[in-house]
């Protein structure tokens, strides 16, 4: 039997290919390969290309309304290298405890598993991590002598749930972290994929203590193939992370091209890409409303690339996956995102990479597969994503 072709790939979170700025990047490449030829024959050093560090300091500083020192930004090979390096810098032993969202980014979860960190998941609701559960968890761990090495939080347009943590809850999380002396690693890679509503503040805006770490990325605003991410951290934490780095620096060529492209800020290109992604989000939500209102619920993200969908408990999930693949639809099942690999009735739809037509055609096909994989015709027994 041949593998069916995936025509509707809601699987991975990628940028929109139609707005890839080919001509501008070609011009940038031609310019920097000549002007920075000398630097390209050298090793870039631990922090990386100064121009891109300045551009990213400007990006973060303008969004948050605070000054960011470019010398406190360290470029990495995508934000995944930043995820791994920062965990390695804070880890002392195999089995060290860390707090994560109950559902989180599989890249991070797999990296932490590989590092043999013991993850403890904090329950989520529509505002992200529940502070009452975090408080209770920290108290219990403390009794067991297990103080977490850090809290990993994707508070803005969270992957996979799409939630945006409200400011007061961010402040409460910071207070709780301070009470136990635990640093927060804030992964804010979706921050500038913003559609509407309030832009919630980053941890470093609310709390300037230098133990917190911030991770950024160009994968969602430009393209994953550039493999450019960064850590924003202050000494002495920055030095601790730098000391764990052994790759002789990040990609200078890609960084130079991106720096030239973003030399006047990121807003011009974000002004092109975000409306396109916003439209795709709307089509995804519209399709779900039309097709699945009676049996499912889902998130309505105000930014980012993902919709998180809750299915009835009676969906045979392996059967659904087989049906969907056979119908040309790909998605990531809930189990991929659970910190303890628990199989739960959720799935994630990534809409950034598909065409509008693929979204409009793919959602009804997925909806039919979900209905076929059920063992009943009952309406949904839940009203929210997490009740």
Does 84 bind a second copy (CB under 8 A)? Our answer is yes
Tokens of 93: 């032993």
Taking the least distance from each CB to a second copy, the nearer of 22 and 384 is: 22
Instruction: Kindly tell me which of 164 and 274 has the beta carbon lying closer to a second copy.
Output: 274
Q: Are 122 and 130 in contact (CB under 8 A)?
A: yes
- Establish if 344 lies at the interface with a second copy (CB under 8 A): no
- The reply on whether position 240 binds a second copy by CB under 8 A is no
Contact 28, 55 (CB under 8 A): no
CA–CA distance, 383 with 265 (Å, rounded to integer): 42
Please report, to the nearest 10 degrees, the dihedral formed by the alpha carbons of residues 330, 99, 387, 290 taken in order: -30
Q: Least distance from C-beta 3 to a second copy, angstroms? A: 17
For 153, how many CA atoms within 13 A lie in the half-sphere containing its CB? 32
Verify binding: residue 114, a second copy, rule CB under 8 A.
yes
For a second copy, which is the closer residue by CB, 43 or 67? 43
The sign of the CA dihedral 205, 207, 210, 213 is negative
Stretch that binds a second copy, among 11-19, 126-134, 140-148, 366-374 (CB under 8 A): 11-19
Could you say which of 95, 225, 265, 318 contacts a second copy (CB under 8 A)?
225
What token pair was written down for 361? 């055609």
Closer CB to a second copy, 86 or 302, in the complex = 86
Q: Does 246 bind a second copy (CB under 8 A)?
A: yes
Q: Residue 154 in contact with residue 101, Cβ under 8 Å? A: yes
Q: Residues 104, 161, 188, 251: which binds a second copy (CB under 8 A)?
A: 251
Among 8, 57, 64, 78, binds a second copy (CB under 8 A): 78
Strands 118-122 and 97-101: parallel
State the nearest-atom distance from the C-beta of 142 to a second copy, in Å.
27
Task: Specify which residues 345 forms β-bridges with.
Answer: none
Question: Which residue in 73, 81, 297, 347 binds a second copy (CB under 8 A)?
Answer: 81
Task: Tell me if 14 contacts a second copy by CB under 8 A.
Answer: yes
φ/ψ of 64, rounded to 5, equals -95, -15
Q: Is 80 in the site for a second copy (CB under 8 A)?
A: yes
Q: Which of 239, 247, 286, 316 binds a second copy (CB under 8 A)?
A: 247
* DSSP of 49-77: -HHHHHHHHHHHHHHHTS---GGGEEEEE
88 vs 126 by CB, closer to a second copy: 88
**5 contributes a contact to a second copy by CB under 8 A:** no
Secondary structure letter of residue 335 according to DSSP: G
Chosen residue from 1, 2, 5, 41 binding a second copy by CB under 8 A: 41
C-alpha 227/C-alpha 247 separation (Å) is 14
Question: Between 221 and 385, whose beta carbon lies closer to a second copy?
Answer: 221
377 binds a second copy (CB under 8 A): no
- Angle in degrees, CA 164, 301, 232, rounded to 5: 45
**Shortest distance in whole angstroms from residue 246 CB to a second copy:** 4
Residue 184 belongs to what H/E stretch?
A: strand 184-187
- Residue 116 binds a second copy (CB under 8 A): no
* Selection from 115, 111, 179 nearest residue 147 by Cα: 179
Neighbouring C-beta atoms of residue 103, cutoff 10 Å: 28
Name the residues that contact a second copy, by CB under 8 A: 12, 14-17, 20, 22, 25-26, 29-30, 33-34, 36-44, 76-78, 80-81, 83-84, 107, 110-111, 114, 223-227, 243-244, 246-254, 256-257, 353
């Amino acid at each position: 039997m041949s593998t069916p072709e995936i025509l509707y790939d809601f699987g991975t979170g990628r940028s929109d290919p139609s707005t890839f700025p080919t001509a501008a990047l070609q011009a940038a490449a031609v310019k920097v390969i000549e002007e920075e030829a000398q630097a390209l024959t050298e090793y870039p050093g631990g922090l990386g290309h100064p121009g891109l560090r300045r551009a990213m300091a400007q990006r973060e500083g303008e969004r948050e309304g605070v000054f960011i020192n470019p010398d406190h930004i360290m470029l990495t090979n995508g934000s995944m290298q930043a995820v791994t390096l920062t965990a390695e810098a804070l880890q002392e032993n195999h089995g060290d405890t860390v707090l994560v969202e109950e559902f989180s980014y599989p890249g991070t979860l797999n990296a932490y598993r590989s590092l043999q960190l013991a993850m403890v998941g904090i329950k989520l609701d529509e505002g992200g991590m529940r502070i009452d559960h975090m408080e209770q968890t920290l108290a219990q761990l403390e009794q067991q002598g297990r103080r977490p090495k850090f809290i990993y939080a994707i508070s803005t347009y969270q992957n996979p749930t799409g939630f945006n943590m409200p400011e007061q809850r961010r402040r409460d999380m910071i207070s709780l972290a301070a009470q136990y002396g635990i640093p927060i690693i804030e992964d804010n890679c979706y921050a500038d994929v913003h559609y509407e509503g309030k832009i919630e503040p980053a941890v470093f805006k609310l709390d300037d203590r230098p133990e917190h770490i911030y991770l950024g990325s160009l994968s969602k605003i430009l393209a994953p193939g550039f493999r450019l991410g960064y850590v924003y951290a202050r000494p002495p934490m920055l030095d601790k992370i730098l000391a764990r780095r052994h790759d002789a620096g990040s990609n200078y060529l890609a960084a130079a091209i991106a720096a030239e492209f973003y030399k006047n800020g990121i807003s011009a290109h974000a002004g092109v890409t975000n409306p396109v992604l916003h439209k795709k989000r709307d089509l995804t939500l519209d399709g779900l409303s039309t097709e699945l209102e009676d049996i499912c619920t889902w998130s309505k993200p105000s930014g980012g690339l993902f919709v998180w969908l809750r299915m009835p408990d009676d969906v045979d999930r392996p059967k659904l996956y087989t049906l969907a693949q056979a119908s040309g639809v790909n998605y990531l099942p809930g189990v991929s995102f659970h910190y303890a690999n628990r199989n739960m009735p959720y799935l994630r739809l990534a809409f950034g990479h598909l065409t509008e037509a693929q979204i409009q055609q793919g959602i009804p096909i997925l909806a039919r597969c979900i209905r076929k994989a059920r063992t009943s015709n009952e309406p949904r027994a839940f009203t929210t994503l997490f009740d």
